[in-house]
Amino acid sequence: MPTLIALDIGTSAVKAALFGVDGALLAREVEPYPVDRPRPGWAQQHPDRWWAAACLALKRLTARHPAAEVAGVGVAGQSWSAVFIDKEGQVLADCPIWMDTRAAAECAQIDRILGKERLFRLCGNPTQPSYTLPKILWMRNHHPDIYDRAARVLQSNGFIVYRLTGVAAQDESQGYGLQCFDTRKGCWDMDALRELGLPPSLLPTILPCGAVAGTVTPEASAATGLPSGAPVVAGGLDAACGTLGAGVVRPGQTQEQGGQAGGMSVCLGEYAADPRLILSRHVVPRLWLLQGGTVGGGGALRWLRGTICPELSFGEMDALAATVPPGSDGLVFLPYLAGERSPIWNPNARGVFYGLDYGKTRAHLIRACMEGAAFSLRHNLETAEAAGAAVGELSAMGGAANSLVWTQVKSDVTGRVIAVPGTDEATTLGAAILAGVGVGLFDGEALAAERIVVVKRRHYPDPASAAVYDSAYGQYRELYNRLSGMMV
């Protein structure tokens, strides 16, 4: 029977997964790597670490299933990368990742050249230092030697596709991080490139997410254990692949994300941008995603574990959080540990615990961390509704969906029913569905997801918690408003 392999190039690790054509997860491997933070506001990784981790994970996966008939490979990846490679395909520099905010001056430069209103009309997103285009200009301004040697600038999944196939391409869903990308049409805007002084050849060919970019080369086969000649599709943005893998494939459906980052994605049938949020093309053709994202999702809890609770498992932290009442006895957490994205867009925002006293314990810190991420989710959902998006039941994805406590907190804070799919591998499942479409095993992304994705449980908001969380959410919003002037 044919199988599908998917990779997820995440912030903290590569995940490799083997799926049956019925969507069943047959095997999974994870290979971690660190984030380097050499200076305040910087967050970077070397793309060769991604590749090395992918090779190790794939080697273990294929060794466990040597007889698997691999029909296709899909690759999902973190957003807003800027991988500079030379004409031989060698990486020229560390890659500033999605939480890197060093390129603030370049945002002003882009706005000056193209104009804010024109930019927003073109790509549906205002210029932000975490996006890819400012990072390209930052490299040109600060390391012209590297910029001049660059043959291509790739996204994270595009880089892995390149290592697997030798083809330099970019999928449609990752284009929104470059303000020279026409989000309506799904193509580069040549006038914007010319005015910015960027050669079109620096940017890769754009492909539909489910299009076959190339096939696994003999060299990549030896490094990964994948069969030589296996088709590899372009893949997509991790959040968009996860949205597909969570079954969000029709206008009005909404995904709730609980990975390293937190956030939501509302599926739209028509282009509808809002400067407070993020607009991208979905990995499903002819659909868009209106997204909101916080830097403090699962990453905030991982930080808390590493600093305060190193001897505890996430399950033990979950159990401790359950011992604290809703509202954490007045402890409120702003999860802005690497600046903040939507809807406040402040790279200088900082994390805050407010309400500490001698009665607070680690359990309070854990629950407040969960609640802070849920407050950010609510802020983004309210912003999306104010922008005209219809938001109903939320479909959960990411490791946080395994936490009964955290998922219930999000349901109580937002007042939404949250459906949890039967697998926590939504991102790799979405990438596998794209691979299945690309090689002709599925008739389309939406039909495949609706057949494969099943809900294993639902969380319903608790009316008894509503008043407590409404008050705590108001305090959360007020805290940032009062402190933002100090966050410079």
**pLDDT tens digits along 363-376:** 999 999 999 999 99
The reported pLDDT for the residue numbered 399 is 87
**Who contacts 328 (Cβ-Cβ below 8 Å, separation ≥6)?**
355, 364, 367, 368, 371, 472
- On the question of pLDDT at 382 being above 90, the answer is yes
The predicted model gives 353-380 an average pLDDT of: 98
- On the question of pLDDT at 177 being above 90, the answer is yes
pTM, full prediction: 0.93
The reported pLDDT for the residue numbered 93 is 98
The predicted model gives 138-143 an average pLDDT of: 98
Question: Residue 423's pLDDT band (boundaries 50, 70, 90)?
Answer: confident
Distance (Å, rounded) from C-alpha 138 to C-alpha 10?
23
The predicted model gives 259-284 an average pLDDT of: 94
The reported pLDDT for the residue numbered 95 is 98
The reported pLDDT for the residue numbered 387 is 92
The reported pLDDT for the residue numbered 383 is 97
- On the question of pLDDT at 227 being above 90, the answer is yes
Of 407, 395, 392, 394, whose CA–CA distance to 298 is shortest?
407
- On the question of pLDDT at 260 being above 90, the answer is no
Question: Residue 318's pLDDT band (boundaries 50, 70, 90)?
Answer: very high
- On the question of pLDDT at 259 being above 90, the answer is no
Provide DSSP, 79-98. SS--EEE-TT--B-SPEE-T
pLDDT in tens, 37-69: 999 999 999 999 999 999 999 999 999 999 899
The predicted model gives 380-394 an average pLDDT of: 94
Distance (Å, rounded) from C-alpha 287 to C-alpha 12?
29
The predicted model gives 76-103 an average pLDDT of: 97
311 three-class SS: coil
The reported pLDDT for the residue numbered 453 is 96
Of 165, 186, 189, 158, whose CA–CA distance to 83 is shortest?
158
Task: Indicate the range of 257-261, 310-314, 391-395, 436-440 predicted with least confidence.
Answer: 257-261
The reported pLDDT for the residue numbered 488 is 86
The reported pLDDT for the residue numbered 128 is 93
Question: Residue 429's pLDDT band (boundaries 50, 70, 90)?
Answer: very high
The reported pLDDT for the residue numbered 296 is 86
**Buried/exposed code over 187-224 (b: 16+ C-beta within 10 A; e: otherwise):** ebbeebbeebebeeeebbebbbbbbbbbbbbeebbebb
- On the question of pLDDT at 261 being above 90, the answer is no
Average pLDDT value for the chain: 96
Question: Residue 392's pLDDT band (boundaries 50, 70, 90)?
Answer: confident
The predicted model gives 160-176 an average pLDDT of: 98
Can you list the domains of the chain with their CATH numbers?
2-234 (3.30.420.40), 247-421+454-488 (3.30.420.40)
Question: Residue 297's pLDDT band (boundaries 50, 70, 90)?
Answer: confident
- On the question of pLDDT at 258 being above 90, the answer is no
In this structure, are residues 293 and 256 in contact, taking their beta carbons and an 8 Å threshold? Answer: no
Question: Residue 156's pLDDT band (boundaries 50, 70, 90)?
Answer: very high
